[in-house]
Structure 1
Amino acid sequence: MSSSSPSLARAPHHDGSVTYLGPVPTRPGGSVRLRVHVPAPGASRVRVRWGQDGEPRLRDLTPTPAFDGQWWTGELPLVNARTSYRFLIEGPDGARHRWLTAEGVSEREVSDRSDFVLDASDAAPDWVADQVAYQIFPDRFARSAAAADRELPDWAVPQAWDEPVVAAGGPVARQLYGGDLDGIAEHLDHLVDLGVTTLYLTPVFEGRSNHRYDAVSFDRVDPVLGGDDAYRRLIDAAHARGLRVLGDLTTNHTGSGHEWFRAAAADPTGVEAGFYLFDDQGYHCWLGHPSLPTLDYRGRELRERMYGRADSVVARWVDAGLDGWRIDVANMTGRQGGVDLTREVARGVREAMTRVNADTWLLAEHFFDASADLVGDGWHGVMDYAGASMPLWWWLAAPGARPHATVPLPIDPLPARDVVATMREVHARYPWAAVTASTVHLDSHDTARFRTLAGGGEHGGVDDGSSDSGLARARHLLGAGLQLTLPGVPALFAGDELGLTATTGEHARTPIPWDARETWDAATLDAYRELVALRREHPALRRGGLRWLSAGVDHLTFVREHPAGRVLVHAVRPRPDGAAPRDGEVRLPAAVLGGDAADAVTLRGEGLVRLDDGDEPVLALPGSVGAHLWLLPGDDLAWT
């Protein structure tokens, strides 16, 4: 049985990519050129509606011929710092009018919350769009010879490299495996071989746990990791190999052993006492953990020390060579009770970074809808759990999987059409520039390993993909295929490419088995290399727009569009019972992809089949499980 989704494939389309939007001014007062594509039978009139000074305005767009329909082009004034807009499409021949918003096409009145959004402010540095990131938890990646001679802190429970990681409770934060920064530097060739371009390290400041989110100082790198000198050696070694380096900073809290907090507790009248929230019950702390007292940004001195001065925490380490910061618990930073200073802190952090190096990236941790925080000149983007990770979990995780505390119920897999609706709804509220400067994760140090979510076991070691776990590998690699082809910066968690498993975020912090390479899942590693290479080779996968073409139960299909070429992506998930996917073979009108479908080049998976019988030529997409990719011409997308 075949299926198609004409409501998607033949829908008018616009997004914030270079295919549909000209350069956006960095300050209010200018305008931006934009266009919308309206497939056949076209439209009789198209207008852009935008908000200006709180009032809606309308302006006609001008039609020109385009592949399978018309381009409608015009200018959008950017009078305000933030501008929302949509398109009013009329006709042809007395057809009911339609609104095109970032969520799609509607024949009814819809909320302005679904409008496209533009910020007249500096976007992320241009290099960010081309990145593939690789996250490392320093204690668990690699251990240099020098690590054996270092004195261990009194809180640590030393572990042999092959001892199992505790999944929850007990010594979970105190297990110390001895990974260090020189060990990472010695294994950078693995990253280069994989094709990644940005190294993201979780905190390196001295703390009283293996995760170091409980810093005792922001002025020094933990001696257990090799100290400041090792950090600089690693940054230099990474840069020499063409890798960027992203640091990790807790702006929301410090550790209770932090020098600021100790000073505050010792002297209630001292300046540091204003850095924290004290009351008759004690002090405010992150999620009730007394080891993590929350910072209070209402006082000037804390802002100065964190990001205001030339020698501030943020600026100092950018000056030492970091290419940007990932901000821990960014969604909570500056928020306590009736106080909400999150956007002010974000703006201050970015200003501190750019004073030292304007070419730096500011990424925020955020598990939920981040639209209220992606305003103006603050965070460039977020860890996109809401718009990417969670929808992918709900489509690809095995029934009963539990990814993270933010998913309060075990997974009951959803059909692809619902997953796509979630992605579109979340991303409709973000400026396109923020979507593309956000990271796409299958997992991280805070979640279960994706291989386990896919059904690959819970032992905390490598799933080799054999016997019963073959289904898990198929789901995992399909997830990787989407992670490397959707908009945003793919962010791999070290060990995913080997097939590592784990049930919780703490459990996921598994030492990389360098001395047991024979256990690595070679098929998974090869697939990651292939997918990373495809992303790096094709501009459409890094900088192209996103147009959804079809979504059913077991398949979703989209095209990334760029004048340098289109990449068509067709993802088909396996069924738990091994039966054929329920949607069967998907067929799309050939014309909706522009160019000449006969020129399509198969990049991955099976080939396209063109069928010329019937009312119009169609493309038959394969029904076999996996991520199938094809390259099609994009020259008809160029602006005229």
Structure 2
Amino acid sequence: MSYFYNSWDADYKSPFGAIRRNQGCQFTIRLPEETPLDYAPVLVVFRTGFKERFLPMNVKECENGYVLYTTTLIPKYAGVHYYYFSYTSNGVRHYIKRGDACHGTLDHGEMFQLTVFGEDYQTPQFLKGGVMYQIFPDRFCSSGKAHENVPSDRVMRNWGELPYYKPDQNGHVWNNDYFGGDLEGIRSKLDYLEDLGVTCIYLNPVFESHENHRYNTANYRNLDPLLGTNEDFRKLCEDAKKRGISVILDGVFSHTGADSIYFNKFGRYDNLGAYQSEQSPYYSWYHFWGNKEYESWWGIDTLPNVDENNPDYTKYICGEGGVLDYWMDLGAAGYRLDVADELPDEFLDNLRACVKKYDEEKIVIGEVWEDASNKEAYGVKRRYLLGDQLDSVMNYPFREAIIAYMKGEAVTTFRDRIMGILENYPKCTVDVLMNFVSTHDIERAINRFGGQPCDDKSKDWMAGNELSPEEYNRGKTMLKGAMVLQFFLPGVPSIYYGDEAGLQGWKDPFNRRCYPWGNEDTELLEYTRQLAHIRRENAVFAEGAMEFLVLEENIVGFSRYDEETGSSAIVLLNRSGDTGMVSLRDKCFRKYAFSTVISGICDGDAIILPANSYAVISAVRTSVPVAEAEQN
């Protein structure tokens, strides 16, 4: 080893990754013995906006021509800290900074990151080890039941038709076509979801709204009439709970609909809306200027922004008996927060306090597309994962890493992307990360894998282009590999409804097509069940640590293990079209004693990996190489 420091190696930094406030963290660097020092090296640590701290490092030991210097940091404040090392030799000051994903390099590079989170930060247990299932309510299943008070301006479509996407003469797409999916339909499929291995349903918005996506809330306290009644929601939660399934709601709190009881721009409601009069009880929620002009979400005038920190609005959502309490009373297990980076810190603080006051096991998940530990939004360094706001986030960084790897990116780049998130996020957050490959906001993974890039394509192109049989098979093969990573990497796999059935879809609204009941890809469906079964039967996938073991051109292997008991599951994935083999006698497995091949082909001390296949092996991880342990 010739490097100075490795932030992923316990010999250099212990413990790995983010730490709690007031928890000790030991740092060690290596310098060549012949390096003349004017004085002891120092660890330099700082938070944005605060002065540096300089911690002297002491000699730990000498080994193989190097001197090891060490020090211990006990951080007093939560926040994202940055650090590097410095020493002076013959009057010249030198720096050890991050040269690549984890290694220290001399006199150039970036700062290392150390996330310090609250001492009491914990995340809900109910989601750990589970499987999430995301449902776009209008498109999953229709009960056929007639519903009352459904507005007459909704256009009802036949199940399975192409969603309407063309704008009107003013260039506006009204999203007013509906396929009749409802909560009773979801309830009728709970046995299907249970059999699939699902333990948590995440519902896209269900509150009363006047577009099919329902992100333009019309009334936070009413279920949309086409989905059923508030009592239907209670029944869904109760019946789901009997099967060990929780239900999470989509919370859209950065804006409302213009067509709502709060704004009432089009006069649909009898009450006085903010658009109609300054005397409206909701007027202070919004920002107006000029002649009825108002601030709207990304300039979309049907989505007026709210002032989340307006006391009346905060009380309405987060107060005693407010919106959050109301739906948790009916059975909601928590909330996924739409556009979390547009919700101010104070509002997120209040929201979490409300949810956790109700029950510590209720969860708060944020929509964040980047690394949420160091995210800056609107000039503010966000503190999502420090213990006062979110439990989890939508794991877009993992999604992009998985997609890129399955499409041919180098295995070392994949490792670096995964390890970067594991290093920056609190472990309790990692255990409940929402790991997906498709959602309602992006093209389905099978299209991303099998078809052409669609970023530069028109809606007309997307409407008229299905995957060819060849493209579908290619996409399905790569999707299966991606699902292996999705299910067995740290976090919680989130299946976007229909992915398990081979449902296709480019970007919105084509990624929101109806579930193909009766026309599922049964082989893919059974494959998904198998992954969920393996995950459920092996406890290490709930909260186990992780280390990469095999990094070959087309084979990646990693372990999930319990640091106390040593119980482990080793996952191997062959992404190529050729047969591969991994020897269990390889040096990378020296700390593992193997017991059972859970899935895959074993030939003596070798695991055979046919084209585009995976294997899972049960093992025990020891703190010393197995051969040495046997000798002792």
TM range (shorter): 0.7 to 0.9
Larger relative contact order (CA 8 Å, sep ≥ 6):
1
Query: Who is 2:570 aligned against?
Result: 568
Q: Cα distance 1:290–1:132, how it changes in 2: closer, same or farther (>3 A)?
A: same
Query: Who is 1:363 aligned against?
Result: 365
Say whether residues 1:501 and 2:504 are aligned partners.
yes
Say whether residues 1:276 and 2:286 are aligned partners.
yes
Instruction: Pick which of 275-284 and 441-450 moved more.
Output: 275-284
Alignment of 1:92-107 (within 5 A): 103-107=101-105
Say whether residues 1:442 and 2:437 are aligned partners.
yes
TM-score (norm 1): 0.77
1:557 maps to amino acid: G
Instruction: Pick which of 494-503 and 282-291 moved more.
Output: 282-291
Corresponding residue to 2:78 among 71, 75, 81:
81
Write out per-residue CA displacement over residues 604-635 of structure 1, whole angstroms, 9 at most, x where no aligned residue. 3343774xxxxxxxx78747423332222135
Say whether residues 1:115 and 2:114 are aligned partners.
yes
Corresponding residue to 1:626 among 606, 613, 619:
613
Say whether residues 1:527 and 2:537 are aligned partners.
no
User: 2:286, 2:295 within 8 Å by CA — same for their partners in 1?
Assistant: yes
SS in 2 for 1:452: helix
Q: Cα distance 1:130–1:298, how it changes in 2: closer, same or farther (>3 A)?
A: same
1:236 Cα deviation after fit: 0.7
SS in 2 for 1:367: coil
Query: Who is 1:226 aligned against?
Result: 228
Distance 1:354 1:180 in 2: 29
Q: Cα distance 1:602–1:50, how it changes in 2: closer, same or farther (>3 A)?
A: farther
Where structure 2 has 5 or more consecutive residues not aligned to the other structure, the ranges are 31-40, 62-68, 88-93, 265-272, 376-381, 453-460, 626-632
2:496 maps to amino acid: F
Q: Cα distance 1:112–1:467, how it changes in 2: closer, same or farther (>3 A)?
A: closer
SS in 2 for 1:547: strand
Distance 1:533 1:345 in 2: 39
TM-score (norm 2): 0.78
User: 1:86, 1:100 within 8 Å by CA — same for their partners in 2?
Assistant: no
User: 2:135, 2:204 within 8 Å by CA — same for their partners in 1?
Assistant: yes
Query: Who is 1:474 aligned against?
Result: 477
Query: Who is 1:485 aligned against?
Result: 488
Corresponding residue to 2:405 among 378, 392, 395:
395
User: 1:539, 1:564 within 8 Å by CA — same for their partners in 2?
Assistant: no
Instruction: Pick which of 312-321 and 563-572 moved more.
Output: 563-572
Distance 1:418 1:198 in 2: 31
Say whether residues 1:158 and 2:132 are aligned partners.
no
User: 2:450, 2:471 within 8 Å by CA — same for their partners in 1?
Assistant: no
2:78 maps to amino acid: A
Write out per-residue CA displacement over residues 36-89 of structure 1, whole angstroms, 9 at most, x where no aligned residue. 9x9xxxxxxx999866985244678999xxxxxxxx999863522347488989
User: 1:319, 1:356 within 8 Å by CA — same for their partners in 2?
Assistant: no
Query: Who is 1:188 aligned against?
Result: 190
1:33 Cα deviation after fit: 8.0
Distance 1:35 1:446 in 2: 41
Q: Cα distance 1:187–1:198, how it changes in 2: closer, same or farther (>3 A)?
A: same
Considering only CA atoms, is the larger Rg found in Structure 1 or Structure 2? 2
Alignment coverage as a number of residue pairs: 563
User: 1:167, 1:504 within 8 Å by CA — same for their partners in 2?
Assistant: no
1:275 Cα deviation after fit: 0.9
SS in 1 for 2:161: coil
1:489 maps to amino acid: V
Corresponding residue to 1:321 among 306, 324, 331:
331
Query: Who is 1:330 aligned against?
Result: 340
1:486 maps to amino acid: L
Query: Who is 2:23 aligned against?
Result: 31
1:444 maps to amino acid: T
Query: Who is 2:131 aligned against?
Result: 132
1:356 Cα deviation after fit: 1.3
Instruction: Pick which of 294-303 and 489-498 moved more.
Output: 294-303
CA RMSD of aligned residues (A): 4.1
Query: Who is 2:274 aligned against?
Result: 264
SS in 1 for 2:222: coil
Q: Cα distance 1:441–1:61, how it changes in 2: closer, same or farther (>3 A)?
A: farther
SS in 1 for 2:217: coil
User: 1:474, 1:626 within 8 Å by CA — same for their partners in 2?
Assistant: no
1:303 maps to amino acid: T
1:284 maps to amino acid: E
SS in 2 for 1:104: coil
Distance 1:188 1:158 in 2: 25
1:482 Cα deviation after fit: 0.5
Q: Cα distance 1:285–1:565, how it changes in 2: closer, same or farther (>3 A)?
A: same
User: 2:257, 2:304 within 8 Å by CA — same for their partners in 1?
Assistant: yes
1:140 maps to amino acid: R
Distance 1:509 1:541 in 2: 30
Write out per-residue CA displacement over residues 174-198 of structure 1, whole angstroms, 9 at most, x where no aligned residue. 2211111111111100110011100
1:532 Cα deviation after fit: 1.0
1:203 maps to amino acid: P
1:101 Cα deviation after fit: 11
Query: Who is 1:549 aligned against?
Result: 549
User: 2:592, 2:621 within 8 Å by CA — same for their partners in 1?
Assistant: no
SS in 2 for 1:274: helix
Distance 1:47 1:132 in 2: 45
Distance 1:22 1:33 in 2: 10
SS in 1 for 2:247: strand
Instruction: Pick which of 461-470 and 544-553 moved more.
Output: 461-470
Instruction: Pick which of 369-378 and 550-559 moved more.
Output: 550-559
Query: Who is 1:400 aligned against?
Result: none
Q: Cα distance 1:548–1:89, how it changes in 2: closer, same or farther (>3 A)?
A: farther
